[in-house]
């Protein structure tokens, strides 16, 4: 378990700086990169926004598989334990995500039961949660993680965020809150979407209330600026990819299309991503699903297998460089490649190819629709992999989070 510096900001986080910075600090692009880095160096994703059910369909996980994944909010690495893989190595450059991943693992290990777990991780306004941390979790955490959650921010211990609503915090949580405020200023209460009882009602609310917001001058002005979307975790490189999809280089139509899919393509009763976007919480019992890792049917198997997870404050490439050849089976890159230069991509895939067993799979998402690696990897690396294009397109349509343009699967064949 790689140690991390829980209070290291962007200036001291060499790993994040190496991944993000490409331009001179005094250039316009360099300023955008550094501003994004400052924002991204705090907690960004209290919930991961990649659909784990889709991941598991794509990976076809088996008990002998050894998995490497980016951590983000920690939901998906726990969901994968439903399939009892042999091991999961979790990497992340953000120390706040490291602390959250380790806390979630400890919650499965040490909270008394499933209801306690759901209360701690999924229910807002539960003022007993920090006491549960003190009673069951603190003594069972490594020093760095315990110190992180006991440290104070604005006078309160960080762990007290679970007494309130952790999903209203973090960079993404605050961005969603700002979007709700902007909608209310235009007379639209986005939480009304959670009352829809059918896809028809969801479609009606989107068409009549939400879609017109994208034509408002202030919304078009905001979405025309890279920095305004840093709250979605969209770095400058990803913004450019999204803007390239529109004829006028405006990101507003792209965001409208993605939000339409989230709002209209899946029933609210089946989509916890939509509940987070429109309700800023998970559905009350009986009104919608919990994330896969919190579903009652998965509790016992996940709890029995949490010791198969190791969490590392490291990059994907850094971790793999220290692992034996032909030692891993599944790789989950989220959307991290959208940030990368050609050199970084080739370094990453060189290590993936070296450590991958025959039949290994890599899955990732992209802001735009096309695979980010085509035409950018060296032939010596690219020729070892087969793009499962048809299956990728099928699963892209099923992605409940709806925020990505493409979902991609590659299989090791040489």
273 and 296 fall within a common domain? no
Half-sphere exposure of 181 (CA within 13 A, CB side): 7
pLDDT per residue as tens digits for the range 267-297: 999 999 999 999 999 999 889 999 999 999 9
| Whether residue 144 has pLDDT greater than 80 | yes
The residue-averaged pLDDT of 317-322 equals 98
The residue-averaged pLDDT of 81-108 equals 97
327 and 385 fall within a common domain? yes
- Could you give the CA distance from residue 393 to residue 310 in angstroms, rounded to a whole number? 32
245 and 326 fall within a common domain? no
Q: Is residue 138 part of a domain?
A: no
pLDDT of residue 286: 85
378 and 316 fall within a common domain? yes
Cα-flanking dihedrals φ and ψ of residue 280, to 5°? 60, 30
249 and 316 fall within a common domain? no
User: How many domains does the structure of the chain reveal?
Assistant: 2
- Could you give the CA distance from residue 260 to residue 276 in angstroms, rounded to a whole number? 15
Of the candidates 279, 312, 342, which is a domain's last residue?
279
pLDDT of residue 10: 46
Pair 240, 250: CB distance under 8 Å: no
Whole-model pTM?
Answer: 0.90
| Whether residue 174 has pLDDT greater than 60 | yes
Tell me what the pLDDT averaged over the chain comes to.
Answer: 89
Burial of 166 (0-12, 13-18, 19+ CB in 10 A): buried
181 and 241 fall within a common domain? yes
**pLDDT higher at 225 or 158:** 158
301 and 367 fall within a common domain? yes
The residue-averaged pLDDT of 223-242 equals 64
pLDDT per residue as tens digits for the range 7-16: 555 445 555 5
Q: Where are the beta strands (DSSP E) in 161-320?
A: 309-312
By residue range, what is the domain housing residue 194? 168-279
Of the candidates 245, 279, 313, which is a domain's last residue?
279
Q: Is residue 11 part of a domain?
A: no
- Could you give the CA distance from residue 91 to residue 98 in angstroms, rounded to a whole number? 8
384 and 325 fall within a common domain? yes
297 and 274 fall within a common domain? no
The mean-pLDDT minimum among 61-65, 313-317, 355-359, 367-371 falls in 367-371
Of the candidates 279, 310, 326, which is a domain's last residue?
279
| Whether residue 384 has pLDDT greater than 90 | yes
User: 203, 306, 215: which is closest to 260 by C-alpha?
Assistant: 203
Q: Is residue 134 part of a domain?
A: no
264 and 336 fall within a common domain? no
Pair 100, 144: CB distance under 8 Å: no
Q: What is the dihedral of CA 351, 353, 357, 361, to 10 degrees?
A: 110
214 and 319 fall within a common domain? no
CATH number at residue 400: 3.40.50.150
Q: Is residue 150 part of a domain?
A: no
296 and 408 fall within a common domain? yes
In this prediction, residue 186 has a pLDDT band, given cuts at 50, 70 and 90, of: very high
Cα-flanking dihedrals φ and ψ of residue 366, to 5°? -135, 150
């Amino acid at each position: 378990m790689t140690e991390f510096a829980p209070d290291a900001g962007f200036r001291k986080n060499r790993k994040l700086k190496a991944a993000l910075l490409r331009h001179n600090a005094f250039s316009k692009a360099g300023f955008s990169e550094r501003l994004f880095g400052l924002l991204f160096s705090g907690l960004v994703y209290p919930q991961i926004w990649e659909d784990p059910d889709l991941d598991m369909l794509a990976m076809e996980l088996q008990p002998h598989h050894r998995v490497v994944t980016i951590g983000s909010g920690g939901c998906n690495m726990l969901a994968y334990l439903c399939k009892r893989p042999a091991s999961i190595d979790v990497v992340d450059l953000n120390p706040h995500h490291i602390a959250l991943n380790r806390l979630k693992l400890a919650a499965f290990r040490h909270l008394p039961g499933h209801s306690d777990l759901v209360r701690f991780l999924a229910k807002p306004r539960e003022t007993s949660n920090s006491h549960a941390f003190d009673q069951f979790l603190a003594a069972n955490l490594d020093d760095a993680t315990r110190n992180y959650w006991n440290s104070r921010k604005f006078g309160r211990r960080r762990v007290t965020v679970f007494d309130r609503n952790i999903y209203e915090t973090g960079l993404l949580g605050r961005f969603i809150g700002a979007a709700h405020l902007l909608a209310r200023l235009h007379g639209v209460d986005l939480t009304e979407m959670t009352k829809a009882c059918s896809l028809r009602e969801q479609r009606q609310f989107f068409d009549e209330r939400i879609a017109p917001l994208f034509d408002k001058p202030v919304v078009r002005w905001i979405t025309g600026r890279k920095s305004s979307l840093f709250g979605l975790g969209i770095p400058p490189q990803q913004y450019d990819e999204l803007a390239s999809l529109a004829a006028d280089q405006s990101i507003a139509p792209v965001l409208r299309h993605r939000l339409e899919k989230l709002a209209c393509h899946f029933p609210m009763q089946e989509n916890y991503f939509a509940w987070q976007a429109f309700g800023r919480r998970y559905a009350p019992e009986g009104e919608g699903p919990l994330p896969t890792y919190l579903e009652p049917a998965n509790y016992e198997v996940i709890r029995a297998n949490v010791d198969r997870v190791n969490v590392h404050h490291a990059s994907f490439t850094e971790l793999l460089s220290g692992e034996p050849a032909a030692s891993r089976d599944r790789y989950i890159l989220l959307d991290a490649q959208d940030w990368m230069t050609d050199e970084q991509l080739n370094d990453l895939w060189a290590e993936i190819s070296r450590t991958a067993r025959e039949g290994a799979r890599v899955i990732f998402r992209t802001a735009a629709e096309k695979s980010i690696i085509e035409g950018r990897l060296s032939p010596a690396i690219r020729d070892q992999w087969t793009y499962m294009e048809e299956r990728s397109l099928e699963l892209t349509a099923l992605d409940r989070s709806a925020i990505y343009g493409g979902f991609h699967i590659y299989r090791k064949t040489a």
